[in-house]
């Protein structure tokens, strides 16, 4: 498909400067998680991929401690892993989960958006856009096994998936809480949420910066299933089997049909969106809010 090919070329071009110096980590030996045929785990320092070739599935574990914040390097590694799996005909689905106990992802890395130069903000925002586009439109079935708290960008990442399973732990809240930080969720964050839970629920959730605990997240539809913590991975696997039983080309085309109009909106306004982000993030008032928020996080410990 022209769009997919175009995006791939774009990704490669975008990734090249960031990817320089990144080395793929040597795989752990032994059978893949889920009883695969012994194919080695692979990945990079911040992303561990556990392949199960027999099932056509790979578990992608985010491991950017302490909180899986979506830094530029981490996003780059995630994209490289996704591209590698998409290019390997063995795989039809991935389960996206976390290797950091209690945290799925703390969202965008606040240090990438604070006290940096405008050129850095441009580079960072391109990576955030690219990650959203690539995950949102991936031909693979992508299931989020959400085993921790998932605010803002962490929630967005899970919303790009085809299905979300959340561990039933009251601490594991999920939502787009940007307004609480004095910032605004961009239109494509909002569109992704609208496509998932509808306009009215999104309007309320975004303005109030709601972080939903599991029962509430299920009720409003931010997640598809809430299960005991020790069943998140096994549930994600059974759901995956159900999705993989559908003829792949029909499922892929249907996914594109559903998601392309939303993705196209960003694709046509990509540069303008970068400019909007940079203008917004460079404002003194926004920088002050973000600094204050980061300080509050740091002081929590002391
Ligand atoms: C018009 C439109 C224009 C466009 C307008 C712009 C649009 C931008 C959209 C933004 C989207 C986002 O995702 S913004 C990010 C939103 N994210 C959040 O609000 C989550 C903030 N974090 C938390 O609430 C908590 O850290 C939480 C994840 C629950 C984990 O709590 P814990 O007690 O386990 O851990 P903590 O002690 O808090 O954190 C451990 C360390 O990690 C750091 N840390 C925590 N979250 C971090 C983060 N997101 N980025 C960087 N660093 C983070 C802390 O400062 C600590 O650093 P040390 O003290 O040094 O160890």
Ligand 1 geometric centre to CA of 181 (Å): 10
Instruction: Confirm or reject: Cβ of 14 under 6 Å from ligand 1.
Output: no
Q: Is residue 272 part of a domain?
A: yes
Instruction: Confirm or reject: Cβ of 276 under 6 Å from ligand 1.
Output: yes
Q: What is the CATH number of the domain that holds 145?
A: 3.90.226.10
Residue 53 pLDDT more than 60? yes
Q: Is residue 92 part of a domain?
A: yes
CA angle centred on 121, ends 24 and 222, rounded to 5°? 75
Quote the ipTM score.
Answer: 0.98
38-65 exposure pattern, b = at least 16 Cβ within 10 A, e = fewer? ebebbbbebbbbbbbeebbbbbbbbbbe
Q: Is 72 a catalytic residue?
A: no
Instruction: Confirm or reject: Cβ of 151 under 6 Å from ligand 1.
Output: yes
| Residue 159: domain span | 42-300
Q: Is residue 166 part of a domain?
A: yes
Each residue of 6-22: pLDDT tens digit? 344 344 434 433 333 33
Q: Is residue 275 part of a domain?
A: yes
Each residue of 243-296: pLDDT tens digit? 999 999 999 999 999 999 999 999 999 999 999 999 999 999 999 999 999 999
Q: How many domains does the chain have?
A: 1
Q: Is 195 a catalytic residue?
A: no
Q: Is residue 171 part of a domain?
A: yes
Q: Is residue 259 part of a domain?
A: yes
**pLDDT score, position 177:** 97
**pLDDT score, position 302:** 58
Q: Is residue 149 part of a domain?
A: yes
Q: What pTM was estimated for this model as a whole?
A: 0.91
């Amino acid at each position: 498909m022209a769009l997919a090919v175009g995006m791939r070329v774009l990704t490669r071009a975008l990734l090249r400067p960031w990817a320089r110096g990144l080395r793929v980590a040597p795989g752990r030996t032994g059978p893949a998680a889920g009883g695969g045929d012994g194919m080695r785990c692979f990945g990079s320092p911040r992303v561990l991929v556990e392949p199960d070739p027999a099932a056509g599935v790979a578990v992608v574990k985010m491991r950017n401690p302490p909180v899986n914040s979506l830094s530029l390097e981490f996003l780059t590694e995630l994209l490289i892993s996704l591209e590698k799996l998409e290019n390997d005909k063995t795989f039809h689905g991935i389960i996206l989960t976390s290797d950091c106990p209690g945290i799925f992802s703390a969202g965008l890395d606040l240090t990438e958006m604070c006290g940096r130069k405008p050129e850095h903000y441009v580079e960072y925002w391109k990576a955030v856009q690219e990650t959203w586009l690539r995950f949102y439109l991936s031909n693979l079935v992508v299931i989020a096994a959400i085993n921790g708290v998932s605010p803002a960008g962490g929630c967005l990442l899970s919303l790009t998936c085809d299905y979300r399973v959340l561990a039933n732990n009251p601490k594991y809240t999920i939502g787009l809480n940007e307004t609480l930080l004095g910032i605004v969720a961009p239109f494509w964050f909002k569109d992704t949420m609208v496509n998932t839970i509808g306009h009215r629920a999104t309007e309320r959730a975004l303005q109030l910066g709601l972080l939903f605990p599991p029962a509430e997240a299920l009720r409003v539809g931010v997640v598809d299933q809430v299960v005991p913590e020790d069943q998140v991975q096994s549930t994600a696997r059974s759901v995956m089997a159900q999705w993989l039983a559908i003829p792949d080309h029909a499922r892929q085309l249907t996914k594109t049909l559903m998601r392309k109009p939303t993705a196209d909106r960003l694709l046509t306004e990509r540069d303008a969106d970068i400019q909007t982000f940079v203008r917004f993030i460079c404002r003194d008032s926004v920088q002050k809010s973000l600094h204050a928020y980061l300080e509050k996080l740091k002081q929590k410990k002391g």
